[in-house]
Protein backbone atom coordinates (compact mmCIF):
# COMPACT_ATOMS: atom_id res chain seq x y z
CA UNK A 1 0.00 0.00 0.00
CA UNK A 2 2.85 2.42 0.81
CA UNK A 3 4.49 1.69 -2.55
CA UNK A 4 1.28 2.55 -4.37
CA UNK A 5 0.98 5.88 -2.53
CA UNK A 6 4.61 6.72 -3.24
CA UNK A 7 4.16 5.85 -6.92
CA UNK A 8 1.05 8.03 -7.15
CA UNK A 9 2.86 10.97 -5.52
CA UNK A 10 5.80 10.57 -7.92
CA UNK A 11 3.49 10.44 -10.95
CA UNK A 12 1.61 13.51 -9.78
CA UNK A 13 4.93 15.31 -9.36
CA UNK A 14 6.06 14.37 -12.86
CA UNK A 15 2.77 15.41 -14.47
CA UNK A 16 2.79 18.66 -12.50
CA UNK A 17 6.36 19.36 -13.56
CA UNK A 18 5.49 18.76 -17.21
CA UNK A 19 2.48 21.05 -16.92
CA UNK A 20 4.62 23.82 -15.39
CA UNK A 21 7.26 23.41 -18.10
CA UNK A 22 4.66 23.76 -20.87
CA UNK A 23 3.08 26.75 -19.12
CA UNK A 24 6.48 28.44 -18.76
CA UNK A 25 7.38 27.80 -22.39
CA UNK A 26 4.04 29.13 -23.65
CA UNK A 27 4.36 32.23 -21.48
CA UNK A 28 7.86 32.87 -22.68
CA UNK A 29 6.74 32.93 -26.30
CA UNK A 30 3.87 35.34 -25.74
CA UNK A 31 6.13 38.37 -25.84
CA UNK A 32 7.72 37.22 -29.08
CA UNK A 33 4.31 36.61 -30.64
CA UNK A 34 2.98 40.00 -29.57
CA UNK A 35 6.00 41.73 -31.05
CA UNK A 36 5.69 39.70 -34.26
CA UNK A 37 2.01 40.64 -34.56
CA UNK A 38 2.93 44.31 -34.20
CA UNK A 39 5.59 43.98 -36.90
CA UNK A 40 3.13 42.20 -39.18
CA UNK A 41 0.54 44.94 -38.70
CA UNK A 42 3.21 47.52 -39.54
CA UNK A 43 4.16 45.66 -42.73
CA UNK A 44 0.49 45.32 -43.68
CA UNK A 45 0.18 49.09 -43.31
CA UNK A 46 -2.33 48.70 -40.50
CA UNK A 47 -0.66 51.40 -38.46
CA UNK A 48 -3.35 51.89 -35.83
CA UNK A 49 -3.28 48.18 -35.01
CA UNK A 50 0.53 48.29 -34.89
CA UNK A 51 0.31 51.17 -32.41
CA UNK A 52 -2.11 49.23 -30.21
CA UNK A 53 0.05 46.10 -30.24
CA UNK A 54 3.25 48.05 -29.64
CA UNK A 55 1.56 49.83 -26.74
CA UNK A 56 0.53 46.49 -25.25
CA UNK A 57 4.08 45.23 -25.62
CA UNK A 58 5.50 48.35 -23.97
CA UNK A 59 3.04 48.01 -21.09
CA UNK A 60 4.22 44.46 -20.43
CA UNK A 61 7.92 44.96 -21.18
CA UNK A 62 8.83 48.63 -20.58
CA UNK A 63 12.58 47.94 -20.60
CA UNK A 64 12.63 46.46 -24.11
CA UNK A 65 13.48 48.95 -26.84
CA UNK A 66 11.80 47.00 -29.65
CA UNK A 67 8.29 48.05 -28.63
CA UNK A 68 9.26 51.71 -28.64
CA UNK A 69 10.92 51.28 -32.03
CA UNK A 70 7.79 49.77 -33.57
CA UNK A 71 5.63 52.46 -31.99
CA UNK A 72 7.86 55.19 -33.44
CA UNK A 73 7.81 53.51 -36.87
CA UNK A 74 4.01 53.45 -36.85
CA UNK A 75 3.87 57.13 -35.86
CA UNK A 76 6.29 58.00 -38.67
CA UNK A 77 4.23 56.11 -41.25
CA UNK A 78 1.13 57.98 -40.05
CA UNK A 79 2.97 61.29 -40.43
CA UNK A 80 3.02 62.01 -36.69
CA UNK A 81 6.66 63.00 -36.49
CA UNK A 82 6.45 64.85 -33.17
CA UNK A 83 4.88 61.83 -31.49
CA UNK A 84 7.53 59.58 -33.03
CA UNK A 85 10.27 61.75 -31.55
CA UNK A 86 8.69 61.69 -28.11
CA UNK A 87 8.55 57.88 -28.04
CA nearest to 50, candidates 72, 30, 29: 72
What is the CATH superfamily name and number for domain 2-86? Tetratricopeptide repeat domain (1.25.40.10)
Q: What is the pLDDT of residue 29?
A: 60
79: alpha, beta or left? (left if phi > 0; alpha if psi -120 to 50): left
Q: What is the pLDDT of residue 28?
A: 66
User: CB neighbours (10 Å) of residue 28?
Assistant: 9
Can you list the alpha helix ranges (DSSP code H) found in the chain? 2-43, 47-60, 65-77, 81-86
Residue spans per domain, the chain: 2-86
Q: What is the pLDDT of residue 24?
A: 80
Q: What is the mean pLDDT of each run of 10 residues along the chain (87 residues)?
A: 89 92 75 90 95 94 94 95 91
Is the pTM higher than 0.85?
no
Amino acid sequence: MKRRIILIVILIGIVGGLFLAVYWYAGRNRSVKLLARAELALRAQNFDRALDLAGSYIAKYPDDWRGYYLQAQAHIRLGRYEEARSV
